[in-house]
Amino acid sequence: MTAFLGECIGTAILITLGDGVVANVLLKDSKGNNGGWIVITFGWAIAVFTGVYASASASGAHLNPAVTIALASIGDFPWKDVPLYILAQLLGAAIGSTLVWLSYLPHFKRTEDPALKLAVFCTGPAIRNSATNFLTELIATMVFILSILLITKPEMKIGALDALPVALLVLGIGLSLGGPTGYAINPVRDFGPRLMHAVLPIAGKGSSDWKYAWIPIAGPVIGALIAAQIFRLL
């Protein structure tokens, strides 16, 4: 139960701060409106730092099925606990995105573009091409997971002291590889909020773009597995 709550709370913090900075930049009449990509990437880095630091002692701070699956694939995490961690991460992502919606309720009403409202919750491509979008998510997550495994070597476990380098890593990925797809690099970071976008009574919302939703799930998972196998060879 401690690990479940740690993953849930840590992921909720991650998404609240991460989706929150996107809302601040994109939604009409917010004080951070039009703050730009640099603000978003820094906000997500701080979100990762806070979520990891807050949950490290309770659960190891995976906060991401790609991390959980990668660790399990190299024998550093039990497969039997993978579903429990992913469920906790998904629940935390749903809670976090709901908190963002509640915090920015008047701004969702004032924002006319449905695409901007969707972007607060989940990722989408700058140029829509399934093959290249998938490849981008795979590469970005492969770099992310391999770097995490190397940062935390030899323990191969994310701890509180690893929160800062992991946050800087996410900042770097956002600045370098985030342009094509918005760098999900985390299946529940995209799926949980996208699900809440579909469910919540958001004023003037459009489609939840489920046709794209498989990419930020499959790309990160496969990228994580490739990274784990590369790490085993080192």
**pLDDT averages per 10-residue partition of the chain, 234 residues:** 96 98 98 97 97 94 97 96 98 98 98 98 98 98 95 60 86 98 98 98 96 98 98 92
pLDDT at 160 (0 to 100) = 53
The CA radius of gyration of the chain, in Å to the nearest whole number, is: 16
d(CA 25, CA 35) in angstroms, rounded, equals: 5
100, 2, 6, 91: which is closest to 51 by C-alpha? Answer: 6
CATH architecture of 2-233: Up-down Bundle (1.20)
Tell me if 194 sits within 8 A of 208, measured CB to CB: yes
Task: Write down the pLDDT at residue 156.
Answer: 45
Q: What is the residue type of 1?
A: M
Instruction: Report pLDDT for 151.
Output: 85
Q: What sign has the CA pseudo-torsion 159, 163, 165, 168?
A: positive
Residues 6+ away with beta carbon under 8 Å from 205: 114, 117, 118, 197
Question: Rounded to whole angstroms, how far apart are CA atoms 114 and 63?
Answer: 28
What pLDDT was estimated at residue 158? 52
What are the structural domain ranges in the chain?
2-233
Residue 159 φ/ψ region, left for φ over 0, alpha for ψ in the -120 to 50 degree band, beta for the rest: beta
pLDDT of residue 210: 98
Query: Model pTM?
Result: 0.95
